[in-house]
Structure 1
Amino acid sequence: MGSALRPGKLTVEFVEEVERPGRYSDGRGANGLSLLVRETTDGRIAKTWSQRVTIDRQRTNLGLGPYPVVTLAEARDAALENRRAVHRGYDPRQRKSPARTPTRRAWGQRQR
């Protein structure tokens, strides 16, 4: 799929076939989800999911796992869950307990 056009929204077929290194966004409204395709040192193609979110006013990349271990549907579900956690004032990177750790800003608001 060397000359394929980037889709507006990722598809299962595109994710399976893309081999050109780069970052491919899942489109507008995709909760910051993207597929990172890179060539490894031994010449293989590696694909990983990442999500760009803002936590405590800082832009942060969250790793969601490698493809095909994490499917497109699973990556979308994880991105939505992370976005919801951030919206509720929690930091999705802190998964120590079922009740997630609040962000510094949310913690400060609770202390007032």
Structure 2
Amino acid sequence: MVKIYHNPRCRKSREGLALVRESGKPHEVVLYLDNPLSREELRNLLKMLDISPMALVRKQEAIWKEEYKGKELDDRMIEDALLKHPKLMERPVVTFEGKAVIGRPPKKIGELLN
């Protein structure tokens, strides 16, 4: 089953969801701002993406700039920031068959699902 971590207010996330729906594959929409990830879920997602926690951070978000930018942070501290402020997570993230992509650009979603 396809899983999309979705923020309905984000244009790229809405485009990603449209691609998932167009694929015709069964899917689950995770509204991660309403239901934040657990540490285990976040770590599983990072593993599927094969990236460090920092690579999942939206560095232009005001929260990041105000609270974290310029500080020396280890992976655990960055995970803590993502868990405390789910808005910091890049979006959309789509998982399928043990792999995941950040849907920027959206064509990455199509590549994952094909």
What range describes the TM-score normalised by the shorter chain of this pair?
under 0.3
Identify, as 1 or 2, the structure richer in strand: 1
Structure ID, larger Rg = 1
